[in-house]
A and B are shown apart, each in its own frame.
Chain A
Amino acid sequence: MKTSDLSLVAGGGLLDRRDFLKRALRYGAVAATAASAAPSRSHASERAPSASLTPALPQQGGQREAATSGAATIADSMAPWMTSLGGADVAYGSPSAHEREVQRSRKFDAPQTAGMTMWHTPLAALQGIITPSGLHYAVSHNGLPDLDPTRHELLIHGLVRTPMRFSVERLLRYPMVSRIRFLECAGNTAYNAVSPFVEDHSCQELFGQVSCSDWTGVPLSYLLEEAGIKDGAAWIIAEGADGGSLTRSLPLEAVMKDAMLALYQNGERLRPSQGYPMRLFMPGWEGNLNVKWLHRLELTANPAYTKDESGLYTQVLADGRIQRFAFTMEVKSVITRPSAGMVLPEPKGFYEISGLAWSGHGRIAKVEVSADGGESWAEAALQEPVLDRAFTRFSIPWRWTGASTLLLSRATDQHGRVQPTRKQWRKRYAAHSFNHYNAIQAWRINRNGRVENAYA
């Protein structure tokens, strides 16, 4: 199909997301008609090749020298990997050596004090909604503990009838559930929240503290019920077994409803940087409280006001008040292709705009895209599955005119929450507050094809 067959739905060259679908349906209808007209497919193929069902073979009109001369082999005209025995496979596979540049990147402005590391997901290099485990973002405050799973235990105590301990071996025998859920650091995209002037950083640098995996584990409610919750318990203090014993306080009511003791990620046991052998997982809530290397849960009447809920993971509101315990990550989206750090290979023409949307409150209802800096918007197609508190992949066809422009995406979740503009977001918070930033992101497309970070 030619780009000119597609219909414009908004300014800047945005095309109707349904055109491809319609085309596919038309093709399907033609195919179905052809199939029903013929007695059977095999019968049909014995006859003269019909228009669309049977791909035409290349016509071997003239006798080709290489294939027919007695001394030649067919290998002479083929790529070397097609004419030699392949190499051995390995016990645990890795990405192709040709994809070596697809790596997590270390946050560029992290303090250079060893243990606090921030590794960002290369969102722009990935498709679909699942982040490969080795590329899942990770923020660790005290390095990765070298933990012995045969000695590691989960302790549950405080306002419970029977203080309990659970070995990893025993936890693995509990009934488990699987959930595809995103995880995002409270500080993701912080740079655009606070930087007064737009800085040219890549999509990975700006947005790479969010990922999405299939998490499997034991609903925490099973273990808490087993210990027996006492009256008056309203909070749960979760602590990790890392050197710094990272600790967060969570409301018990939400934990009983949603929390998982995650043991597996994308089918395999957790990676060390995700908290092996187990972590707390609270879908839709800021990454920091999904305590890795989880080893202790204390039920209490009140929060502990740990280091992170006292300082780094709080927001300063515009009036100077300090907001604590804002757990949920808000509705947000980013166009991953094209995005900052890329160069469009052709000066104009067809591109698919593709990106990710997510909301800590529920499912994504719609994503709108603008290719003219927000003058006009068109609704993008949402790729199935559209899941609760998971990445949703959106896309929309685009015919770039070659002019400099701004690409924007604006997500709305099932509860009608819409991403604010950067200006609206900044009005709520003090100038130096950077957590839970979810404003509409803009990418500038330059005439030379270079894509860069922009404020809309």
Chain B
Amino acid sequence: MPTLEKVLALLLLAWAGAAGATEPVIGLGEALTEADLARYDITVFPDGRNLPPGRGNVTEGRVIYRDRCAACHGESGIEGPATRLAGSDGLFGWDDPLRIIRIKKYPLLIWSMGARWPYATSIFDYVRRAMPHTAPKSLSNDQVYAITAYLLYMNGLIEESAVMDQQALPKVKMPALDRSVSAWP
């Protein structure tokens, strides 16, 4: 016996597939206007899509980092306690006698953002939506570009003189990209 769920799915399918049919079966959703969407449409994609206008450089980023980020991520981005930001492979050296103690104390420090993330655009996306941790979304687009520039510089991925903006950021190559493999599908 067909379940209610199956019947509804079929009806929805029929509606979606029928040429000229415009009336949805349930249809309780309301149209979303461009203006309503614009307030929330913040996801930035690896190809640079949806990066906002603005710019920032390493020097500006260093100042903002010390003021807004270093308390949790450490002066050089490796001390924690929050996620490690810089490092060649994110691992403490195997010859570090305190390795196990460090990992036990700060498990998020066993790998770094710079070594693990495949796209530089994700840094902009995440800093803008979620950082600083206690005041998310409080940084201007220019400030986020500047912090992104400083984090990339910390990882040795751009020159100290580099400026990050809509054009430059998607072009930065992260070392993790070549090491990445997808389990899906």
Contact = CB atoms under 8 A, between A and B. Distances in A.
A314 B8 CA distance: 37
A225 B111 contact: no
B89 to A, nearest CB: 8
A362 interface: no
Contacts of A246: 130
B46 A305 contact: yes
A305 B4 contact: no
Given A166-B29, A310-B122, A314-B116, A245 B8 contact: no
Interface in A237-251: 237, 239, 243-247, 251
A304 B32 contact: no
Nearest to B104: A109
B57 to A, nearest CB: 23
Contacts of A229: 16
Interface residues of A, number: 70
Nearest to B176: A322
A109 B31 CA distance: 46
Nearest to B45: A304
A325 B184 CA distance: 6
Nearest to A239: B43
Contact of A225 (B16, B40, B43, B106): B16
Contact of A223 (B29, B44, B91, B181): B29
A104 to B, nearest CB: 19
A242 B37 CA distance: 17
A310 B116 CA distance: 7
Contact of A245 (B13, B82, B129, B182): B129
A262 to B, nearest CB: 15
B13 A324 contact: no
Contact of B180 (A141, A177, A321): A321
Interface string B77-103: 000111100000011000000001001
A264 to B, nearest CB: 16
Contacts of A320: 179
A12 interface: no
A413 to B, nearest CB: 18
Interface string A205-218: 00000000000000
B125 A306 contact: yes
A430 B131 CA distance: 30
B107 interface: yes
A142 B83 CA distance: 14
Contact of A163 (B32, B46, B116, B117): B32
| Central interface residue in A111, A166, A295, A298, by most chain B CB within 10 Å | A111
Interface stretch (B20-28, B58-66, B139-147, B160-168): B20-28
B150 interface: no
A428 B43 CA distance: 33
B107 A109 contact: yes
B91 A156 contact: no
A196 B110 CA distance: 14
A305 B122 contact: yes
A325 B81 contact: no
A426 to B, nearest CB: 15
B28 A170 contact: yes
Contacts of B103: 194, 432
Given A165-B36, A170-B28, A177 B5 contact: yes
A344 interface: no
B126 A227 contact: no
A333 interface: no
B183 interface: yes
B110 to A, nearest CB: 5
A371 B174 CA distance: 49
B116 A157 contact: no
Contacts of B179: 320-322
Interface of A: 109, 111-115, 141-142, 155-157, 162-167, 170-171, 173-175, 177, 190, 194-197, 219, 221-223, 225-229, 237, 239, 243-247, 251, 295-296, 298, 300, 302, 304-307, 310-312, 314, 316-317, 320-327, 432, 434
16 contacts: A155-B40, A162-B31, A170-B28, A173-B28, A174-B26, A190-B107, A194-B103, A222-B9, A304-B46, A305-B122, A306-B126, A310-B116, A316-B111, A322-B179, A323-B181, A432-B111
Rank and list the top 10 A-B pairs by shortest CB-CB distance, nearest first: A244-B130, A326-B183, A164-B29, A325-B184, A310-B117, A163-B32, A307-B126, A245-B129, A225-B12, A170-B28
